[in-house]
């Protein structure tokens, strides 16, 4: 990505008394008068009240127009970014963040950012929050890909990479013993866990997150999670052996624990909401992770909206 440069819009002059008083990033609306600005704004003609408005980001002396570096390797992407900033004005800090994004992520921001209010003066906070949510999503997907998930599957409006992993060796006796030391369980729950397929055991050991640590007995919670893990493993990949319905969804077993975990990574929630979602029936879980669309993507806790969905 090119670096931000300052192109003077007026001949250089000594800064006046007011220039030293300008502080911090500013967003200023400027009417496009040059052919270049008019051409850049034309694709959005009629979409907003003043589609030809250009963004002027004040740097230091306050007389610079932030533009992509003229030497950029992808001038078409730079032009798309210019048009995006005309449509969604941002301050200097948000622009710098955009300019330093990897090209695929920047293109995703440009193509998918869609705020409800199209008449804001400054979208810096919303754009920054949206970028943060996309990065969280990519990180979660990256964790899934590292586990061998590479089969493409629809999740809401996004496509995710997934495949069914080959079964790994069962956890060692030491791993099981350490898990039991941390989360005490009775012999019946232990037998249920250790007699499960290796993949199910790994899911339980990695996914079990009780609301409270230090309880004397977790047998019931562990048994419940083992049961779900067994169902997920025995069902195989969600696209295998199930015909897709009219809506295109192929799985009748609901999302896997991996999918639920990725959803939680993208939309953080407290332990109570997580347990509520984990114990919901399969159809309710699928509705949550497929159709959940928060009003804001920069919140730190989505427990209330996620927990309100009934099992």
Residues 49 and 76 in one domain: yes
Residue 9 inside a domain? The answer is no
Residues 102 and 188 in one domain: no
The pLDDT value recorded for residue 83 is 93
The pLDDT value recorded for residue 183 is 94
The pLDDT value recorded for residue 161 is 35
The pLDDT value recorded for residue 253 is 59
Residues 189 and 279 in one domain: yes
Of the residues 92, 122, 152, the one at which a domain ends: 122
Read off the tokens for 171: 């956890």
Residues 70 and 99 in one domain: yes
Residue 134 inside a domain? The answer is no
Residues 71 and 148 in one domain: no
Residue 14 inside a domain? The answer is no
Q: How many domains does the chain have?
A: 2
Residue 179 inside a domain? The answer is yes
Mean pLDDT by 10-residue block, N- to C-terminus, for the chain (311 residues)?
Answer: 44 47 46 39 35 35 38 76 93 92 91 86 90 81 58 43 49 90 93 88 89 91 91 56 38 72 84 79 76 73 56 38
The pLDDT value recorded for residue 142 is 66
Residues 152 and 271 in one domain: yes
Residue 216 inside a domain? The answer is yes
Residues 27 and 74 in one domain: yes
Range of the domain at 88: 23-122
The pLDDT value recorded for residue 143 is 64
Residues 76 and 184 in one domain: no
Of the residues 122, 153, 178, the one at which a domain ends: 122
Residues 297 and 205 in one domain: yes
The pLDDT value recorded for residue 3 is 43
Residue 69 inside a domain? The answer is yes
Residues 105 and 251 in one domain: no
Of the residues 72, 93, 122, the one at which a domain ends: 122
Residue 6 inside a domain? The answer is no
The pLDDT value recorded for residue 304 is 65
Residue 3 inside a domain? The answer is no
User: Model pTM greater than 0.75?
Assistant: no
Residues 73 and 176 in one domain: no
Residues 171 and 278 in one domain: yes
The pLDDT value recorded for residue 93 is 92
């Amino acid at each position: 990505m090119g670096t931000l440069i300052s192109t003077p819009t007026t001949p250089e002059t000594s800064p006046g008394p007011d220039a030293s008083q300008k502080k911090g990033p500013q967003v200023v609306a400027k009417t496009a008068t040059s052919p270049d600005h008019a051409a850049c704004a034309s694709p959005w003609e009629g979409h907003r009240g003043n589609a030809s408005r250009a963004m002027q980001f004040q740097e230091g002396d306050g007389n610079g127009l932030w533009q992509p570096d003229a030497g950029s390797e992808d001038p078409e992407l730079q032009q798309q970014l210019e048009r995006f900033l005309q449509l969604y004005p941002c301050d200097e800090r948000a622009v710098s963040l955009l300019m330093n994004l990897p090209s695929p992520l920047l293109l995703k921001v440009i193509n998918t950012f869609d705020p409800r209010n199209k008449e804001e003066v400054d979208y810096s906070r919303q754009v920054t929050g949206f970028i943060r949510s996309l990065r969280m999503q990519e990180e979660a997907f990256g964790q899934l890909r590292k586990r061998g998930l590479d089969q493409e599957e629809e999740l809401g409006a996004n496509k995710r990479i997934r495949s069914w992993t080959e079964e790994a060796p069962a956890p060692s006796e030491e791993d099981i013993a350490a898990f039991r030391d941390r989360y005490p369980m009775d012999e019946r729950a232990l037998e249920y866990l250790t007699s499960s397929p290796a993949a199910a055991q790994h899911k339980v050991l990695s996914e079990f997150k009780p609301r409270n640590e230090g309880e004397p007995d977790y047998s019931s919670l562990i048994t419940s999670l083992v049961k779900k893990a067994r169902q997920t493993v025995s069902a195989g990949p969600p696209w295998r052996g199930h015909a897709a319905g009219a809506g295109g969804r192929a799985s009748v077993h609901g999302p896997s624990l991996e999918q639920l975990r990725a959803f939680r990574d993208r939309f953080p929630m407290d332990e109570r909401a997580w347990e509520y979602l984990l114990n919901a029936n399969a159809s309710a879980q699928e509705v949550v992770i497929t159709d959940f669309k928060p009003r804001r993507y920069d919140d730190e806790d989505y427990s209330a909206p996620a927990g309100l969905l009934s099992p």
